[in-house]
Every structure is written in C-alpha cells, then in structure tokens.
C-alpha cells in the first residue's frame, strides 16, 4: 500500500513536470525568435516594418483565444484540450519552420498562438485538479509552474542564438516538435482525464466577439508605437475592439449558457488578483524587453553575453518561487506578498532608470535586476494562485483563461506604452548612446509607475485571507 501511494505521488509530480514544460514552451516561443529575426528577414523578404509581426502574430492570437481555450477546457476536459493544444502547436511549428514566404510564416506563428491558447488554461486547470485539495501542495506546484516562465524566456534567448548560428532559423520552430510529441505521449499516462465539469455548449457568438475584441485590442496596442498612438489606424482599431468587447458583455448577460459567467467577477479576490496580474505583466515585460536592448545597444553585448546577463535574475526568480515564496505565503498569506513584490519591482525599476551611457553590468544592471526579479518572484505566485483558486471547480478553465488573458493584455499594453514613452525620450536617435539611454530610462520609469499602481490597487482591493499553511483546510476548489 505504501509503495502504491508513493507511486501515485511520484506520478503526480511527474504530471507537474509536464505541466511546467507547457508553461516553459509557451513562454520560450515568445523569446526564441529574437536572434533569428535578421536571418528570417533576409530569407523570407520581411521588411523592417512587418518583421515585428513574427512576434505579434503569436501574441495576438494567443491573447485572443485564451478565454475560449479556458471554456473548452471546462466543457470537454482539460486533458483533451491540453493534447489538442500541443497538436496545434506542433502543426504551427512545422508550418513556420518550413515557410518559404512572409504570409506562410505569419500563418504558422498564428497557429502556434492558437495552440498555446489551448495549452495555457488547460495546464493550469490540470494543476488545480491535481493539487487543489491541499493548499500547501498547491503553493509548491504553482511555484514550480511559475518558475518555468523565466526559465523559458532565458532559454529562448540562448537556444535562439545557438540554433540560428549553428543550424538555421527554421530550428527555432522545429525545436517545439519533439517536445510536442513527448507531451502528446505522456499526457494520457500522467494527467487526469474525463470530461469537463461545466455544462452547456460553446457560446459561438460570444467566443467570436471576445476573440475578435481581444485580438483587435492587442493588435491596436502592439501596432501603436509603429503607426502612432494618435493615428486614425490606432483609434479605429481600439474603438472596434471596445465595441466588440461591449457587445460580448451584452451577449454574456443575456445567454443562458454564456462563455463567461459574468457573476464570476463578483467572486471575492478574483477580480483583484487579475488586476494585480495585469499590472505585474505591464511592469515586468517592459523591464525585460528594454533591459535586453540596453545590454546590446548601449553596453555593446552580443546575443550570447546579453543572454548570460539575464541568468542571475532568472536563477533568483526560480529559487525564490520554488523555495522561498511558498513558505512566505504559508506564513503571511497572499496579499502582503503581492503588495511587497510589486513595490520591490518598482524599486528595482527605479534603480534601472539611472542607467548610464557609459555604464557597466555590475553597477548599472545586476543589483537593480536582482531587486526587480525578487519583486516579480514574490508577487507572481500569490496573485496567480488567488486568481484561479477563487473560482468554482467547474469554472477552473475559465478562471485560468481569464488570468492568462489578464497577464498577456497587461504585458502588451505595458510594453506598448513604455515603447511609446521611450521613443519620445530618445530611442529613435539611432547611434546616439545618450539618447538611447534616456529612452530606456524613461521606459523603466513608466514600468515602475505601473508597478506602484499595482501595489496600491492590490493593497486596496485584495482581501486578506488566512495563511495557506493550514494543511487541513481544503482549498476553495
């Protein structure tokens, strides 16, 4: 009996490794293409203006389909959607890798985004199914899941450079295929099956309006720095997004079986935790993006050294998420960690805003990046856990889709705003190190303001709860 129980526990933690792999790959697919872009432009005929859509095609579709992915997970079973997502990601990776022109490449990236939108919410739902009954185990599991994200981001930088240099740019997409095959083979063995707990059908009209609305919003946001925030194109796109999202809310209020039960947002802490995730993404992603640019464009580091420069903060995030954050959550509860984490992130960003044109890594980057990383590590797990554990069990996929959407939209909006501010402050001055540094500094200040706003709103809106150290206390799920 003891051996059987031990085998069951081992299988559960192997399942967590598979779920963490999903998070690792979803994030890696956003960072691995960076180094490969110049060679892709030469081979496929991208212009400087449309090259960014190798990244944006993935992000727009990913963000637009997350809510639908969460609902499908609740209806048809998380394991089924998890497997379907990997299959779609595999197909998209093959299309992107074999592409011989710009349209096919962008289609491949969009298909990859659709696969990721199925994988992300179903992975979180499976994590909650496996570990939700024990708050202590759930916190540890979320820590491992959360640590996979920065690992994937940093691994993408290294792998992208390695594969582009010694193989070809196509391999930044082909590398997904063996992992997808592994996930498809392991999922039926390791993950719990069965249909979803939700009833009803798919709200096709609601899915179409929210997907189009979120897609239009992300499209308008990520394109605004290129065409201008005050341009007609940006204004029309964002107005269309607002109209579609308003129509979605009207449809959901009138449907008997909606895609999103609007009353879910009255669940204590769910809305507040999603707001914290939104602003955490809005502050963190600009920091990561512009820190890379500062290392390469001002300090003159090439791709590999700049990737290595990210290792200390990545390692700190992983250590704190896995070993430190669960104990602090158990002792103090989620709210103090979310607030403190966002404030520490703001402090680190404030220090980064003091970067110099003639600076160096040890003085200008390392201390501030470690403080920022500590803040991210402390805030991410408790806000994520609160967002998904607040919902009813049959709405776990929906809650996972909502929190993923919140973080992705926050990331896109924060990066777009910081990019616009940076351009106004000097990043358009090609070859001018002082102008570039001033622009990056302004971007860091913008991100710091967003982090402070997140800390204040979390302090006001999040309800304090009992620490999660009471093992007998069953999760809300």
Structure tokens at 175: 């590398």
CA proximity to 125, closest of 371, 399, 312: 399
Give the pLDDT of residue 39: 81
> Cα separation of 76 and 245, whole Å?
25
pLDDT for res 103: 94
The CB density around residue 184, as the number of other CB atoms within 10 Å, is 15
Q: Report angle CA 46, 49, 51 to the nearest 5 degrees.
A: 45
Structural tokens at position 203: 């709200």
d(CA 454, CA 444): 15
HSE-CB for 236 with a 13 A CA cutoff: 4
DSSP state letter for 361: I
CB 419 within 8 A of CB 258: no
Q: Which two tokens stand for residue 394?
A: 């049959």
Full DSSP string of 126-191: HHHHHHTT-HHHHHHHHHHHHHHHHHHHHHHHHHHHHHHHHT-TTHHHHTHHHHHHHHHHHHHHHS
Average pLDDT, the chain: 85
- Decide: pTM greater than 0.75: yes
* Domain spanning 267-477, CATH architecture: Up-down Bundle (1.20)
Helix (H) or strand (E) holding 253: helix 232-254
The answer to which of 275-279, 348-352, 418-422, 466-470 has the lowest mean pLDDT is 466-470
Task: Show Cβ contacts of residue 28 under 8 Å, excluding neighbours closer than 6 positions.
Answer: 152, 153, 155, 156, 159
Residue 473 has pLDDT above 80, yes or no: no
Average pLDDT (160-183) is: 89
Nearest to 218 by CA among 438, 435, 408, 8: 408
Q: How far apart are CA 174 and CA 163, in angstroms?
A: 10
| pLDDT at 13 exceeding the cut of 90 | no
Is pLDDT above 90 for 335? yes
The DSSP 8-state label assigned to residue 463 in this structure reads: P
pLDDT the model gives residue 1: 46
Could you tell me the pLDDT band of residue 471, with boundaries at 50, 70 and 90? very low
Measured CA to CA, the distance from residue 29 to residue 460 in angstroms comes to 35
Mean local confidence (pLDDT), 403-424: 83
Angle at 19 between CA 17 and CA 23, to 5 degrees: 110
pLDDT tens sequence across 49-102: 577 778 778 888 888 888 888 888 888 889 999 999 999 999 999 999 999 999
- Is pLDDT above 90 for 257? no
How large is the C-alpha radius of gyration of the chain? 21
Neighbours of 257 (CB within 10 A): 13
Flag whether pLDDT at 195 surpasses 70: no
pLDDT of 180 over the 90 cut = yes
Confidence check: pLDDT of 322 > 70:
yes
How many residues would you count in the chain? Answer: 477
pLDDT band for 297, please (50, 70, 90 cuts). confident
Q: What share of the chain is helix, strand, coil (3-state, %, to 5)?
A: 80, 0, 20
416 CB neighbour count, 10 Å cutoff: 22
Q: Name the strand (E) or helix (H) holding 79.
A: helix 78-98
Query: pLDDT higher for 339 or 10?
Result: 339
Judged against a pLDDT cut of 80, whether residue 467 lies above it is answered with: no
CB 116 within 8 A of CB 29: yes
Average pLDDT (447-476) is: 72
pLDDT at 27: 84
pLDDT recorded at residue 341: 96
pLDDT of residue 196: 58
Q: What is the pLDDT averaged over residues 418-425?
A: 82
Position 165 scores a pLDDT of 74
Give the pLDDT mean for 210-234.
Answer: 83
Average pLDDT over residues 290-313: 81
Q: How far apart are the C-alpha atoms of 366 and 369, rounded to whole Å?
A: 5
What is the DSSP-derived secondary structure letter of residue 264?
A: G
CATH 1.20.1250.20 fits 1-201, yes or no: yes
Q: Return d(Cα 170, Cα 187) in angstroms, integer.
A: 27
Mean pLDDT of 252-260: 83
pLDDT given for residue 476 in this prediction: 34
> Angle at CA 387, nearest 5°, toward 385 and 388?
70
Overall average pLDDT of the 120-137 stretch: 86
Q: Please give the Cα distance from 218 to 205 (Å, whole number).
A: 20
Integer Cα distance of 384 and 451 in angstroms = 16
Per-residue model confidence (pLDDT) at position 49: 59
Statement: residue 464 has pLDDT above 80: no
Give 334's pLDDT tier (boundaries 50, 70, 90).
very high
What is the number of other CB atoms lying within 10 angstroms of the CB of residue 37?
18
Question: Which helix or strand (DSSP H or E) is residue 55 part of?
Answer: helix 53-76
């Amino acid at each position: 009996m003891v051996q059987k129980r031990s085998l069951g526990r081992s299988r559960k933690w192997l399942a967590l490794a598979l779920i963490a792999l999903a998070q690792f790959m979803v994030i890696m697919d956003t960072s691995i293409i960076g180094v490969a872009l110049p060679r892709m432009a030469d081979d496929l005929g991208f212009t400087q203006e449309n090259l960014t859509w190798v990244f944006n095609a993935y992000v727009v579709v990913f963000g637009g389909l997350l809510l639908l992915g969460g609902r499908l997970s609740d209806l048809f079973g998380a394991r089924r959607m998890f497997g379907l997502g990997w299959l779609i990601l595999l197909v998209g990776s093959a299309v992107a890798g074999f592409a011989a022109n710009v349209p096919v490449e962008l289609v491949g990236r969009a298909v990859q985004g659709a696969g990721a939108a199925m994988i992300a919410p179903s992975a979180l739902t499976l994590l909650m199914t496996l570990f939700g009954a024990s708050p202590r185990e759930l916190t540890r599991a979320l820590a491992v899941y959360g640590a996979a994200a920065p690992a994937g981001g940093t691994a993408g930088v290294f792998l992208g450079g390695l594969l582009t240099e010694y193989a070809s740019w196509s391999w930044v997409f082909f590398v997904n295929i063996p992992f997808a095959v592994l996930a498809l083979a392991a999922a039926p063995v390791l993950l719990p099956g069965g249909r979803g707990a939700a009833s009803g059908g798919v709200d096709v009209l609601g899915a179409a309006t929210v997907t189009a609305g979120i897609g239009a919003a992300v499209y308008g946001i990520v394109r605004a720095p290129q065409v201008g925030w005050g341009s007609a194109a940006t204004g029309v796109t964002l107005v269309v997004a607002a109209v579609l999202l308003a129509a979605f809310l009207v449809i959901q209020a009138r449907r008997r079986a909606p895609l999103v039960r609007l009353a879910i947002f009255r669940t204590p802490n769910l809305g507040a935790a999603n707001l914290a995730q939104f602003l955490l993404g809005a502050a963190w992603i600009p920091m990561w993006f512009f820190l890379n640019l500062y290392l390469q464009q001002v300090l003159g580091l090439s791709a590999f050294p700049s990737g290595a420069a990210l290792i200390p903060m990545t390692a700190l995030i992983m250590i704190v998420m896995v070993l430190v954050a669960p104990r602090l959550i158990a002792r103090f509860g989620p709210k103090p960690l979310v607030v403190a984490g966002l404030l520490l992130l703001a402090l680190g960003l404030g220090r980064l805003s003091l970067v110099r044109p003639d600076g160096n890594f040890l003085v200008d980057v390392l201390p501030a990046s470690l403080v920022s990383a500590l803040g991210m590590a402390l805030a991410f797990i408790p806000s994520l856990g609160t967002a998904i554990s607040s919902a009813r069990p049959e709405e776990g996929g929906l809650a996972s889709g909502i929190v993923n959407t919140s973080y992705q939209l926050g990331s896109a909006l924060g990066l777009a705003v910081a990019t616009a501010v940076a351009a106004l402050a000097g990043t358009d001055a090609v070859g001018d190190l002082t102008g570039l540094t001033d622009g990056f500094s302004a971007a860091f200040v913008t991100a710091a303001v967003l982090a402070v706003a997140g800390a204040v709103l979390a302090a006001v809106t999040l309800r304090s709860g009992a620490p999660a150290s009471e093992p007998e206390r069953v999760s809300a799920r």
